[in-house]
């Protein structure tokens, strides 16, 4: 049996199903992200695991023990909230030690465990500071240390980086992953940021309208999305009409009609000189993204998004006629979404 097991887990508020019959298995030491838009049920799922929200149906099993109706304190899980929830009148050291004192751990052991975890999160030099004297990233690491110091079987992260600016978010993504790997703790993280989920997770669970729609390793999820929703939510995607030829090979239907919906990532499309390639178009608009140029190309199949690496050469001007080409093997056949976004 998996270390964390959700069996037909559901939550209903009146006539509204927030989470519908969810099955999920998480192995010990695994880092799993629940990814989806607002209202998809990911936070409710995490809160049910933590014990903060009552379960309507199904079971939660932790290391073989049914904790579905156990009180939050008896589950022993570590939780890091979006707001950090630090005590402003306590130093870093006292914030981290708080959970151990509530558990009546001996003072000498508290000192050892607090020192160890502060070194782990690289804050041992700030032990006597107060939260107001720390940066956002440092406060987040205090919250992480406080969750880890109780040595929980599972770490739950609820949008842990949403209050940080873009550069600090990226830095903290890899810091969280470093700490998780070093400790080896089973971790579930809720996020709506697809780049965050893809960059640090072992597996990503995509949720939509209270249901899990795909569970895969980050690379597999990005390269092989199952539905139109996943294709568009996890990265950018061009949706194209498709068909199978007489030999069963999938191809884009340039007539604009087809019995298949195909996904093609912007970076998989090559820009050619006008008259070359599988499809012709004109640059409708362009956007500079630093390391890349993002082009919107008007074609007979609608506007397509194309990404070209910034190699220092002059960008294409709006109105420039271009050809578009791609490797047919990179086309992905999508299924119709079973639930509405």
**Looking at residue 275, which CATH number applies to its domain?**
2.40.50.140
Q: Among 195, 226, 257, identify where a domain stops.
A: 226
pLDDT exceeds 80 at position 13? yes
- Asked if residue 216 and residue 261 are part of one domain, the reply reads no
Q: Give whichever of 156-170, 223-237, 241-255 has the largest mean pLDDT.
A: 223-237
- Asked if residue 213 and residue 252 are part of one domain, the reply reads no
pLDDT exceeds 50 at position 341? no
The model carries a pTM of 0.89
- Asked if residue 311 and residue 210 are part of one domain, the reply reads no
- Cα distances from 171 to residues 52, 84, 123, 136, 180, in angstroms, run 30, 17, 15, 12, 15
| Beta-carbon contacts of residue 203 (< 8 Å; ≥ 6 apart) | 30, 31, 32, 33, 215, 216, 217, 218
Q: What is the distance, to the nearest Å, from the Cα of residue 263 to the centroid of all Cα atoms in its chain?
A: 20
Question: For 296-315, what is the mean pLDDT?
Answer: 93
Question: For 308-312, what is the mean pLDDT?
Answer: 91
For residue 267, the 8-state DSSP code is G
Q: Give tens-digit pLDDT for 167-198.
A: 788 888 888 999 999 999 999 999 999 989 99
- Asked if residue 198 and residue 119 are part of one domain, the reply reads yes
- Cα distances from 294 to residues 48, 59, 103, 266, 312, in angstroms, run 41, 46, 54, 8, 14
CATH of the domain at 219: 3.40.50.300
Q: Cβ(232)–Cβ(294) under 8 Å?
A: no
Q: Cβ(62)–Cβ(75) under 8 Å?
A: yes
Place of tokens 């990911």: 42
pLDDT exceeds 70 at position 39? yes
Q: Is residue 339 part of a domain?
A: no
Q: Is residue 16 part of a domain?
A: yes
Q: Is residue 102 part of a domain?
A: yes
- Asked if residue 160 and residue 139 are part of one domain, the reply reads yes
Q: Among 202, 226, 250, identify where a domain stops.
A: 226
- Asked if residue 21 and residue 50 are part of one domain, the reply reads yes
| Domain span holding position 182 | 4-226
Q: Give tens-digit pLDDT for 82-95.
A: 887 889 999 999 99
pLDDT exceeds 70 at position 340? no
Q: Is residue 340 part of a domain?
A: no
- Asked if residue 287 and residue 211 are part of one domain, the reply reads no
Residue 337's pLDDT band (cuts 50, 70, 90): low
Q: Is 111 exposed, middle or buried (0-12, 13-18, 19+ CB in 10 A)?
A: middle
Which of 275, 274, 265 has its CA nearest to residue 225? 265
- Asked if residue 122 and residue 222 are part of one domain, the reply reads yes
- Asked if residue 71 and residue 209 are part of one domain, the reply reads yes
- Asked if residue 319 and residue 270 are part of one domain, the reply reads yes
- Asked if residue 63 and residue 189 are part of one domain, the reply reads yes
Which of 241, 223, 198, 200 has its CA nearest to residue 330? 223
Q: Among 184, 204, 226, identify where a domain stops.
A: 226
If one counts the domains in the chain, the total is 2
Q: Give tens-digit pLDDT for 114-126.
A: 999 999 999 999 9
Question: For 59-77, what is the mean pLDDT?
Answer: 94
């Amino acid at each position: 049996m998996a270390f964390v097991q959700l069996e037909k887990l559901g939550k209903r508020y009146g006539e509204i199903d927030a989470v519908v019959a969810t099955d999920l298995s998480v192995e010990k030491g695994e880092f799993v992200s629940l990814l989806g838009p607002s209202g998809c049920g990911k936070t409710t799922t995490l809160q049910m695991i933590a014990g903060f929200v009552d379960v309507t149906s199904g079971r939660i099993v932790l290391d073989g023990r049914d904790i579905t109706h156990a009180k939050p304190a008896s589950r022993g899980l570590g939780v890091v909230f979006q707001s950090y929830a630090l005590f402003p009148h306590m130093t870093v050291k006292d914030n981290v030690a708080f959970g151990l004192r509530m558990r009546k751990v001996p003072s000498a052991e508290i000192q050892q465990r607090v020192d160890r975890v502060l070194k782990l999160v690289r804050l041992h030099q700030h032990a006597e500071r107060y939260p107001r004297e720390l940066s956002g990233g440092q406060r987040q690491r205090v919250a992480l240390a406080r969750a880890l110091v109780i040595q929980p079987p599972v770490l739950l992260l609820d949008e842990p980086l949403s209050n940080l600016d873009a550069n600090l978010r990226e830095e903290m993504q890899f810091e969280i992953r470093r700490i998780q790997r070093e400790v080896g703790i089973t971790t579930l993280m809720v996020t709506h940021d697809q780049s965050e989920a893809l960059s640090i997770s072992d597996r990503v669970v995509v949720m939509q309208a209270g249901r899990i729609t795909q569970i895969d390793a980050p690379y597999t999820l990005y390269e092989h999305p199952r539905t139109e929703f996943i294709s568009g939510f996890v990265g950018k995607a061009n949706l194209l009409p498709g068909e199978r030829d007489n030999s069963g090979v999938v191809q884009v239907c340039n007539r604009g009609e087809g019995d298949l919906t195909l996904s093609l990532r912007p970076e998989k499309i090559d820009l050619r000189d006008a008259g070359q390639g599988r499809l012709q178009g004109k640059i409708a608009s362009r956007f500079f993204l630093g390391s890349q140029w993002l082009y919107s190309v008007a074609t007979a199949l609608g506007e397509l998004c194309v990404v070209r690496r910034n190699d220092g050469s002059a960008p294409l001007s709006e109105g420039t006629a271009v050809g578009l080409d791609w490797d047919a093997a990179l086309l992905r056949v999508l299924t119709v979404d079973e639930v509405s976004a």
